[in-house]
Structure 1
Amino acid sequence: MLRTQFEEELLNLHNQFYEMGMMVSNAVHKSVKAYIKHDKELARSVIDHDIEINDMEVRLEKKSFEMIALQQPVTTDLRMIITVMKASSDLERMADHAVSIAKSTIRVKGETRIPEIEKQISDMSDYVKKMVDNVLIAYVKTNEKDARLIADMDTRINDYYSEIYHEAIKSMQENPATVISGSDYLSVAQYLERIGDYVTNICEWIVYLATGKITELNSNHDEMV
């Protein structure tokens, strides 16, 4: 009886994590859409919804601790609970970066914009969203191979960041009127780049879930604090 109840709780944990992941993916997508379209309302909705994501992380963590304390799970079950705890904390940080992007949108007044860079930011964000959505599927399937492939996608995110960085610096040097928006673009691109790092962290947890080994993927990516 206890075992079945435990399996049910484990499945619930699994599903809640996935749901939280979808909420975070949505927040990231909306925050960039709001930024590019100068949609302050949409940006505010991202900020308002963040409390739900934070609550969800707290609930997942609490439930995880409870299950470890009461059921004393071993091997695969324990790995799954640890993965949910660690990866949900990465998701929560990704959501914080989405909030930072949304706040940038609200800050922006009528500064001179740079359409080419906004296009790059939009492309970068589509790519980040693809990584986030793919990592959730890899998690559900405990697919180690896909997790490794998704972690490799992070190099493209770093390329986007450096392209945007060089474009923005060049633009700011050539036209002082773009300095404010230019530095904003750099911040937004940096938030997206960090979200890519967190996706890589989740890939590492999926590899751990599948193999029991803690593996460093993309050893060049910085551990974001």
Structure 2
Amino acid sequence: MNTGHIVTSFDKELDDIHTLIMRMAGLTESQFAEALDALCRMDAELAQKVRANDAQIDDLERELEQEVVRLIALRQPMADDLRSAISALKIASDLERIGDYAKNIAKRSIAIGQVDRKPSFSPIARLGRLVQAIFKDTMDAFSNRDINRAIDIWHRDEEVDEMYTSLFRELLTYMMEDPGNITACTHMMFIAKNIERIGDHATNIAETVYYLETGEQIEGKRPKGDTTAFEV
């Protein structure tokens, strides 16, 4: 038996899975950016494009799942290699959910475009830029197997929650001041929550990167700053 050939083939399969994850991440990042752009520019055509392109992310997730299942069944990986396979499935699931939230943002932006009175998009754009930066750093951490960056991302989740809580209160104030703002602000609240959840899934990926490299979970409870559940 040519053991060297088997090892080389196995390494290539792991590399192919890594490539699929990065392709999926690139498309997801683009979807999120375009969903935010469609919202801020009230571009219904771009929003529809984002909604339509979500199927590509779903297709990549299915392809990646098939590759991982096949690898596990044929190669029966152990230790680090098994962690790589399991981590790939977890990351793909988080990326798929991020894609879904981007699609939801696009859907809500179309609805806001049909409302006469619109709130300022500046606060939600700031939240979006923060989460975009975190998502980019997350995938860089995965690509470079950088656990220090992964831990930093894990702590930055609290910053996202605090900004989201502030935006939630601001939108709530607009709604209380004038009932005419309720429709648009309600859509904006859902969009803000979608963005906050994208941040959560990026943090999930950071936790997976740490697990992938160490075989352990990050110690401690994830820092949280979202207090909207207690808002009146």
Pairwise TM-score range, normalised by the shorter structure: over 0.9
**For each residue in 1:77-101, what CA deviation from the matched residue of structure 2 results, as whole angstroms up to 9, or x when unmatched?**
1111111111110110010000001
2:155–2:222 CA contact under 8 A, matched in 1: no
Name the residue aligned to 2:177: 174
Instruction: Write out the 4+ residue segments of structure 1 that deviate beyond 6 Å after TM superposition.
Output: none
Name the residue aligned to 1:154: 157
Name the residue aligned to 2:119: 114
Distance between the aligned counterparts of 1:216 and 1:52, measured in 2? Answer: 35
1:31–1:46 CA contact under 8 A, matched in 2: yes
Distance between the aligned counterparts of 1:137 and 1:217, measured in 2? Answer: 23
Q: Which runs of 5+ in 2 are unaligned?
A: 227-232
1:97–1:195 CA contact under 8 A, matched in 2: yes
Name the residue aligned to 2:38: 34
Distance between the aligned counterparts of 1:102 and 1:74, measured in 2? Answer: 42
Name the residue aligned to 1:66: 70
Amino acid at match of 1:212: G
Amino acid at match of 1:198: H
1:46–1:98 CA contact under 8 A, matched in 2: yes
After TM superposition, list the pairs within 5 Å mapping 1:194-205 onto structure 2.
194-205=197-208
Distance between the aligned counterparts of 1:216 and 1:205, measured in 2? Answer: 13
2:155–2:223 CA contact under 8 A, matched in 1: no
Q: Which runs of 5+ in 1 are unaligned?
A: none
Distance between the aligned counterparts of 1:216 and 1:34, measured in 2? Answer: 39
2:61 counterpart of 1:57: yes
2:46 counterpart of 1:46: no
2:154–2:222 CA contact under 8 A, matched in 1: no
2:211 counterpart of 1:208: yes
Name the residue aligned to 2:88: 84
2:196 counterpart of 1:193: yes
2:115–2:184 CA contact under 8 A, matched in 1: no
**For each residue in 1:89-147, what CA deviation from the matched residue of structure 2 results, as whole angstroms up to 9, or x when unmatched?**
011001000000111112221331122xx101001111111111111110011111100
2:22 counterpart of 1:18: yes
**For each residue in 1:142-164, what CA deviation from the matched residue of structure 2 results, as whole angstroms up to 9, or x when unmatched?**
11110010111111111111111
The structure that has the greater radius of gyration is 2
Following TM superposition, by how much is the alpha carbon of 1:197 offset from its aligned partner in structure 2, in angstroms? Answer: 0.6
Name the residue aligned to 2:229: none
1:35–1:105 CA contact under 8 A, matched in 2: yes
Following TM superposition, by how much is the alpha carbon of 1:220 offset from its aligned partner in structure 2, in angstroms? Answer: 4.9
Identical positions, percent: 30
Distance between the aligned counterparts of 1:187 and 1:110, measured in 2? Answer: 15
Name the residue aligned to 1:132: 135
Distance between the aligned counterparts of 1:49 and 1:215, measured in 2? Answer: 34
Name the residue aligned to 2:7: 3
Query: How many residues in Structure 1 have an aligned counterpart in Structure 2?
Result: 220
- TM-score normalised to structure 2 length: 0.91
